[in-house]
């Protein structure tokens, strides 16, 4: 599959290419992204679905997009669940007395007011958990002790998040009282990583708790003792009444006959509550906002409309993504491409995609424009980002500007997700990648085709490993 550079250039007209390269280079010279994320995390801070921070974030986003010159700025209501972690106290009570650094997982039930104290059964995987019976697990606390792999692609998170989402399901089925997991994260510091324990709608009936790596090591050491390991848990986590949050949307309007077509740039406005949501997903909000802002500032309207969507509640059930899909169901075919920034602020190293096969030549030509900023070509199986899932499953093509995630899971869903983890230059490289791709997608003659409708279903029972 070799193409001459003339052929590579063909799918993107030279004027589009030239303008995209200029936007790319101006992003590298300094974009608005740092100011956006600095403002969001300092002035709003934690913003989990349903919280006061969530309300503040919506107001912040509307004001910010308006101040930056976006058009058609609006907040579209999204009903979101409201889970409150309350307080949590976890202690090893035998064979040694040790406080345990822990965090309730999103959706966890609380304990009875007197707490739970029980013997711990340690397993290395969901497969091992499924092999145990009610006789072995009944009345006990399951501890899934899986060490998540560190990798640039973030691939260790597949297994990690499956354990987070499914351990409670298998454990409760077998009569266990609670689940502990070694955090689905890679931090070498003493942080517990939260995250939703609701997967495929299977809501928990028992507490689910993540513990820090060092604490998991302590439990593993204790498991080598001849005495049983016992744990006491007290948690007031609970589900509250639903709230109304919002997807915040702003546009760079297209001009001409393609103006009703949409190039969607997504990120999510909500965050977990433990940190301030700098890398997850303040960085993404900043990247897509700053990319569109560069196009606004260029003074030249794109042919297609560039729509920035800052989604409500990605973290705890993709409420915003689902609501957007429902709101725009009559308009799905107008969404010619989606891109999401939701993997931190590491440099983009790969352009992956999921587009119609006969449009891969356009992706290749785009990669040619991104090559100077260190971006190689990836495969055509990109998921595109969690918030894009409903649109992608309905046929919308996506690009995946894959960020370096080597240290993403050191901070992800922890108290340590703070502004100092973001490098300004890396952030601007992201903006450069997004603005290049957005400009190209919004201005070429062709689109990226449509994808086959995806109706596959998943469940914990089907996908354990």
Q: How far is the CB of 263 from a copy of itself (least distance, A)?
A: 33
By CB under 8 A, name the binding residues for a copy of itself: 38, 42-46, 52-53, 56, 96-99, 101, 188-191, 213-214, 217-218, 221-222, 275-276, 414-416, 418-420
The minimum distance between CB 185 and a copy of itself, in angstroms, equals 13
- Judged by CB, which is closer to a copy of itself: 191, or 409? 191
Q: How many CA atoms lie within 13 A of 325 on its CB side?
A: 17
Closest separation between CB of residue 54 and a copy of itself, Å? Answer: 12
> Which residue's CB is nearer to a copy of itself, number 149 or number 217?
217
In 208-299, DSSP assigns E strands to: 208-211, 230-235, 238-252, 262-268
CB of 103 to a copy of itself, least distance (A): 13
Helix (H, G, I), strand (E, B) or coil at 226: coil
Judged by CB, which is closer to a copy of itself: 13, or 115?
115
Rounded to the nearest whole angstrom, what is the least distance from the CB of residue 99 to a copy of itself in the complex? Answer: 7
Residue ranges of alpha helices (H) inside 344-411 are 360-370, 389-393, 408-411
Q: Distance between CA 70 and CA 36 in Å, rounded?
A: 14
- Please say which residue, 98 or 327, places its beta carbon nearer to a copy of itself: 98
The tokens for 274 are: 């433990």
Name residue 400's beta-bridge partners.
352
CB 118, min distance to a copy of itself, A: 20
Q: Considering the complex, state which of residue 98 and residue 200 has its C-beta at the smaller distance from a copy of itself.
A: 98
**Cβ-Cβ contacts under 8 Å for 150 (sequence gap 6 or more):** 156, 186, 406, 409
Contact between 30 and 293 under an 8 Å Cβ cutoff? The reply is no
Start-to-end CA span in the chain (Å): 36
Minimum separation from the CB atom of position 416 to a copy of itself (A): 5
C-alpha torsion 50→186→179→94, nearest 10: -120
d(CA 312, CA 319): 7
**Residue 243 Cβ, how far from a copy of itself at the closest point, in Å?**
17
Joined together, the tokens standing for residue 366 give: 């785009």
Q: Nearer Cβ to a copy of itself, position 74 or 189? A: 189
Task: Considering the complex, state which of residue 10 and residue 418 has its C-beta at the smaller distance from a copy of itself.
Answer: 418
- CB neighbours of 224 closer than 8 A, spacing ≥ 6? none
Q: Fill in the DSSP letter of residue 134.
A: H
List the one residue out of 408, 325, 419, 359 whose CA is nearest residue 11: 359
**Nearer to a copy of itself (CB atom), residue 46 or residue 165:** 46
Number of other CB atoms surrounding residue 235 within 10 Å: 24
Backbone phi and psi for residue 438, each to the nearest 5 degrees, phi listed first: -65, -45
At 121, list the tokens.
Answer: 């059964």
Task: For residues 311 and 284, give the distance between their C-alpha atoms in angstroms, rounded to a whole number.
Answer: 11
What tokens does 72 get?
Answer: 């058609």
Name the residue nearer to a copy of itself (CB basis): 47 or 174: 47
Which residue number, 45 or 302, has a Cβ lying nearer to a copy of itself? 45
* 4 CB-near residues (< 8 Å, 6+ apart): none
Q: Write out the two tokens for 38.
A: 């600095």
Cβ 203 vs Cβ 165: under 8 Å: no
CA distance linking residue 59 with residue 53, whole number of Å: 10
**Nearer Cβ to a copy of itself (25/89):** 89
Min dist CB 423 to a copy of itself, Å, is 13
Min separation Cβ 183 and a copy of itself, Å: 14
Query: At closest approach, how far in Å is the CB of 421 from a copy of itself?
Result: 9
- In this structure, what DSSP letter does residue 318 have? -
> Which sign, positive or negative, has the C-alpha torsion 34, 308, 276, 375?
negative
CB of 418 to a copy of itself, least distance (A): 4
* Closest CB to a copy of itself among residues 198, 231: 231
């Amino acid at each position: 599959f070799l193409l001459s550079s003339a052929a590579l250039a063909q799918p993107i007209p030279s004027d589009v290419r030239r303008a995209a390269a200029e936007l790319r280079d101006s992003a590298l010279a300094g974009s608005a992204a740092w100011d956006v994320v600095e403002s969001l995390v300092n002035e709003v801070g934690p913003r989990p679905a349903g919280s006061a921070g969530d309300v503040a974030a919506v107001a912040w986003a509307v004001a910010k997009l308006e101040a930056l010159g976006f058009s058609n700025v609006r907040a579209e209501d999204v009903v979101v669940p409201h889970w409150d972690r309350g307080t949590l106290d976890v202690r090893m009570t035998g064979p040694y007395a040790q406080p345990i650094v822990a965090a309730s997982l999103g959706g966890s039930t609380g304990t009875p007011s007197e707490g739970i104290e029980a013997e711990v059964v340690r397993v290395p995987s969901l497969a091992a958990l499924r092999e145990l019976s009610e006789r072995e697990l009944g009345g006990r606390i399951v501890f899934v002790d899986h060490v998540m792999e560190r990798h640039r692609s973030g691939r260790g998170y597949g297994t990690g998040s499956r354990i987070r989402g499914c351990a409670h399901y298998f454990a409760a089925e077998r009569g266990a009282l609670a689940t502990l997991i070694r955090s689905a994260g890679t931090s070498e510091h003493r942080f517990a990583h939260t995250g939703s324990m609701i997967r495929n709608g299977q809501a928990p009936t028992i507490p689910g708790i993540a513990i820090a790596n060092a604490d998991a090591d302590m439990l593993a050491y204790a498991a080598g003792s001849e005495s049983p390991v016992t744990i006491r848990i007290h948690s007031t986590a609970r589900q509250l009444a639903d709230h109304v949050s919002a997807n915040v949307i702003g546009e760079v309007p297209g001009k001409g006959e393609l103006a009703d077509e949409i190039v969607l740039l997504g990120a999510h406005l909500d965050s977990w509550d433990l940190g301030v949501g700098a890398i997850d997903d303040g960085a993404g909000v900043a990247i897509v906002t700053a990319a569109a802002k560069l196009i606004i500032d260029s003074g030249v309207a794109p042919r297609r409309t560039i729509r920035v969507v800052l989604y409500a509640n990605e973290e705890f059930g993709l409420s915003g993504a689902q609501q957007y899909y429902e709101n725009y169901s009559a308009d799905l075919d107008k969404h010619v491409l989606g891109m999401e920034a939701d993997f931190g602020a590491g440099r983009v190293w790969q352009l992956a995609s999921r587009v119609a096969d006969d449009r891969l030549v356009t992706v290749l030509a785009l990669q040619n424009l991104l090559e100077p900023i260190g971006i190689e070509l990836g495969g055509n199986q990109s998921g595109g980002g969690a918030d894009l899932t409903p649109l992608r499953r309905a046929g919308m093509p996506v690009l995946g500007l894959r960020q370096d995630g080597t240290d993403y899971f050191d901070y992800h869903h922890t108290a340590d997700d703070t502004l100092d983890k973001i490098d300004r230059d890396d952030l601007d490289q992201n903006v450069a990648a997004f603005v290049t791709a957005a400009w190209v997608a919004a201005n070429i003659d062709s689109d990226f085709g449509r994808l086959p409708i995806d109706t596959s279903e998943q469940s914990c029972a089907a996908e354990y490993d």
